[in-house]
Amino acid sequence: MADDILTSTCQCGKVRCQGVSRPIISGVCYCDDCQAGAALLEALPDAAKITEDDGGTHYLTYRDDRFSCVAGAQLLHSYQNAPDAPTRRMVASCCNTAMFLKYSKGHWTSAYARRFKGDVPAIEMRTQTQFRTSSTPLPDDAPCYRTFGAKLFWRLMRSRIAMIFD
């Protein structure tokens, strides 16, 4: 998968993004920020669903140098849970489709996995399960962590080092 490109599109097809190579991680987040952000975006008129059935948000997280908007960037609109929030959720304004999340302090972009077509990497972890509100049993398809988990930080650190030396 080293040279693979995964493409994500909005509902109407005017906005298209791509992730190059394997993502840093394919994970589901249940943190209160992701849940609040998803509720905000899914409440937009005719918005596409971004959460999983149990309330988690599945992301494909890419290094910033491996993720880009390749069509319709002018149609992206930024949403924040609060004015000083470190995360911006980018939505295709043409059809109210949430496309990705950018954490301002990080070197990565987390794209909503539901927007991708093709061979989407399997879920590798579920994080922040302490905030999960669903009463359904947690899926057993990947390790689950009450917080973010050391594996996630290790992957982010490794990806930062790789960016420096690429």
Give residue 3's pLDDT band: very low, low, confident or very high (50, 70, 90): low
Q: Domain 5-165 belongs to what topology?
A: glutathione-dependent formaldehyde- activating enzyme (gfa) (3.90.1590)
Over residues 61-98, the pLDDT tens digits come to 999 999 999 999 999 999 999 999 999 999 999 999 99
Over residues 10-54, the pLDDT tens digits come to 999 999 999 999 999 999 999 999 999 999 999 999 999 999 999
What is this structure's pTM? 0.94
What is the rounded distance in angstroms from the CA atom of residue 154 to the CA atom of residue 69? 27
Instruction: Give the start-to-end residue ranges of the domains of the chain.
Output: 5-165
Print burial letters for 143-155: b (CB count within 10 Å at least 16), e (below 16): ebbeeebeebeeb
